[in-house]
Amino acid sequence: MKKKFFILVCFIFGMSNFTLFAQEVFADVPIYRLYNRNNGEHLYTTSENEKNVLYSQHGWGYEGIS
């Protein structure tokens, strides 16, 4: 399933002038959602390796693909 991402880009020109824009992007990249049972935080990652390490070695709960 294609996921919709919004990419926010900021170009800085000098000290105070900047241009800000957002672009909609579609990609076939899974976003894994994990839950930290100790502090209640959620983590979203596109890295399957990061998901596997946090789930198997650091006690995070895996909640599936967002």
Higher per-residue pLDDT: 66 or 35: 35
Q: What is the mean pLDDT of the chain?
A: 76
- Break the chain into its structural domains and give their ranges: 3-65
In this predicted model, what pLDDT tens digit does every residue of 8-29 receive, in sequence order?
444 445 545 555 555 666 678 8
What is residue 32's DSSP assignment? E
Half-sphere exposure of 2 (CA within 13 A, CB side): 5
Instruction: Please compute Rg for the chain using Cα positions.
Output: 16
44-47's contacts with Cβ under 8 Å and 24+ in sequence apart are: none
Q: What is the mean pLDDT of residues 2-7?
A: 53
